[in-house]
Chains A and B, each alone.
Chain A
């Protein structure tokens, strides 16, 4: 694989794809320098701060009908603002690696919260530690009001344990199913009794609700605290294997390779669960660039939309449109289906979501028109003519601005349509597409065709 292809693969996986304007910069670096560059631009976490305060719940409890309505409106508005703020940030930031990993942790520590400030705070925790230390990340997530509320730890009290959080901590967040007993769940739930948050959303340990009795967890006995439980879980190599497996599926291949994962788990475990060295190990591993590990991951809807936004410098006048796209494609940020997160991979694709994916790029970029100069029969000519007539209406509904001029400036001179497609796609350009592109009347048509293919769904 030549150097540009390697950097392009790196950016597809560690970010949201390489842009034409990055081709002459990052594209010319050695892979080693490109990796260093990705870490460099992601060095400083920049939190999202759009939501200032939770909507005032007293309005819902004590307020009259009008105030209740206002409360619901404000809550919905905040949810929308937060969603847009993150999507826009992913679409414009240079810290792509940090955002890509924040998206990973967003799905790993999947959580829903009606209080947008809490949701934003958890998102910022995941961003803050995205490339940092996994132990600190687990601890901070466990102390966040969003997660405490979501997994009912506020109701976890001495004498009346609620096991929800303790169970998911093991099953989904650290060690994985089959590596602990029901008794371990019960004992660890006792250790987390009293963990909660106050009315300002600040983490507190409520001593009177904490069970100080002796607990035995994964073979260790004592007056264990929640922090002890997390430490004990991370002492198990299985946790490093579990996280490495999930990361491998996210960054490398949906089909786990036990040898590669074992090597990752070694780095992670012996490196005291530091995330950055683990990522560096993956990105520098020769197998990361093996042909079978390229161009074969199904982009999540968010990766798909962010990739488009970045490549085409799209800005939206109506945020509802982006929300609608997330919805029809099956991934609304901050709304995972459950605590296990989005299943991902082929689960993203069914008949309707695939047709939407194929149609969305042309809808945003060209009022729904995919020009076609192949051997169109009369029926097809009529279809294209009808689409052309509707272009204005589609544009009026979508209201997306695409910076074609900026894009065109960054496309190197003398490059042909097939070469443009090869740059935009991670899988190879098929013969069918190459033939179509050969007929395309201009670069813009060729680009729209290229991003309206099944190949564009992969990274």
Chain B
């Protein structure tokens, strides 16, 4: 037994002391289940990121016609192919692109798109139809699917202080951990410990009181496990000192310490650029690119890049034509950016958005976002997508076997 496994085992053993008996089977996963643990990292860009000024269709004249004051000048674009290139603020991503660790899926959306931030975010987080209201998120339903590696609350961790709808299932929910020590500290409250330890079996029934105690007990075992496990690893990569940089650094710590977590969720806001877009979006894009580049290079160093897939999405893209305030208004289809060591088709996955055939001034989607989810579920998280998305989706070919 090497040092890391030893630490992990003792951590589990000491954690187990404070966990009620009915939860113990959770803790007793064999060590060999840890090998080849694949992680999905979801980065949410909130506010509706303008995809056309992110991955720029610089080879298309319509782009320059419709965006006379906010288009990125051709010489500034970092070309990826003859048609599309990176916003200069994403320069840190160029190296990842050249290494074959980045993939751009263009024109992702859904039928009857909704232009309200929160409604469209709801649709993306729940994986619903535009006219359907689901109370569970797609990652939450993945947890509910009872697959071999999704039985614990810490199977899905949101690095934040509250939990997004995406992470909430009907039976199971992920856990929000901004700082493993902070979470651990809140569970140190002596009075709470007494309640968790000592609660009577009557409280573990199926009713709501039982559910509350069960959630509390799971929080305790998860907080202990996450804190004990993650403290065994110190991140060596350099990260920018931004909130997103810190969040991804925490994810790196979790992944590299061997945490049995399959899904990580982080977010960056500030993309609702109705006014003076260039400066504002540019700043956010740079924060994003610098943090992602640091993260991917860090994982490459630690040998975890092949086990990690990063997906970035936003609730919608923006209208093709700019508005009168040097900004853009809410639109529809958008690109999804993927990063990882196991991409089947690195580079630009599909045709650049068609700027000539618009739907009332908006891009038409050519890829349903649920086909992206389906691919992640089927080929990365090992659960049949129909179980999570209601009806089955065909999926795409962007993950290498």
Contact = CB atoms under 8 A, between A and B. Distances in A.
Contacts of A383: 188-190
Contact of A330 (B162, B191, B219): B162
Contacts, number: 121
Most chain A CB neighbours (cut-off 10 Å) among B153, B163, B215:
B215
A346 interface: yes
A248 B212 CA distance: 22
Interface string A341-373: 001011101111111001100000000001010
B208 A355 contact: no
A432 B194 contact: yes
A345 B208 CA distance: 9
A297 interface: yes
Contacts of A457: 212
Contacts of A338: 118-119, 122, 133
A347 B168 contact: yes
A296 B208 contact: yes
Interface in B177-193: 183, 186-193
State the main secondary structure of chain B at its contact with A. Answer: helix
Size band of the interface chain B makes with A: 35 or more
Interface in A408-446: 427, 430-433, 436
Contact of A453 (B165, B195, B202, B275): B195
A349 B190 contact: no
B209 A455 contact: yes
Contacts of B192: 358, 370, 452
B191 A352 contact: no
A347 B135 contact: yes
B133 A340 contact: yes
A351 B209 contact: no
Interface in B149-186: 153, 161-163, 165, 167-168, 173-176, 183, 186
A453 B199 CA distance: 11
B207 interface: yes
Contact of B175 (A347, A352, A372): A352
Contacts of A172: 133
B200 A430 contact: yes
B219 A427 contact: no
A436 B190 CA distance: 11
Contacts of B215: 349-351, 354
A69 to B, nearest CB: 11
A452 B190 CA distance: 12
A327 to B, nearest CB: 8
Contact of A352 (B163, B165, B200, B212): B163
Contact of A355 (B118, B122, B167, B219): B219
Given A330-B162, A430-B203, A351 B133 contact: no
A374 interface: yes
Given A296-B208, A340-B133, A355-B186, A350 B168 contact: yes
Contacts of A337: 118, 122, 165
Interface in B188-235: 188-195, 198-200, 202-203, 207-209, 211-213, 215-216, 218-219, 222-223
Nearest to A345: B208
A174 interface: no
A250 B227 CA distance: 38
A384 interface: yes
B35 interface: no
B2 interface: no
Interface string A112-128: 10000000000000000
A458 interface: yes
B198 A454 contact: no
B380 to A, nearest CB: 24
B32 interface: no
B163 A350 contact: yes
Contacts of B133: 172, 338-340
A48 interface: no
Contacts of A340: 133, 135
A407 interface: no
A349 B212 contact: yes
B161 A352 contact: yes
Nearest to B219: A351
A87 interface: no
A374 B216 contact: no
Nearest to A383: B188
A412 B321 CA distance: 70
B163 A372 contact: no
A433 B196 CA distance: 11
Interface of A: 68, 112, 167, 172, 254, 295-298, 327-328, 330, 337-340, 343, 345-347, 349-355, 358-359, 370, 372, 374, 376, 379-380, 383-384, 427, 430-433, 436, 449, 452-455, 457-458
- Closest 7 pairs between A and B when the two form their complex, measured CB to CB: A454-B212, A343-B135, A340-B133, A380-B190, A351-B219, A352-B176, A432-B198
Given A346-B208, A383-B189, A457-B212, 19 more contacts: A254-B208, A328-B161, A338-B118, A346-B211, A347-B135, A350-B163, A350-B215, A351-B153, A351-B173, A351-B215, A352-B161, A353-B162, A355-B187, A380-B188, A430-B203, A431-B200, A452-B191, A454-B216, A455-B209
8 contacts: A337-B122, A340-B135, A351-B175, A351-B222, A355-B219, A358-B189, A370-B189, A380-B193
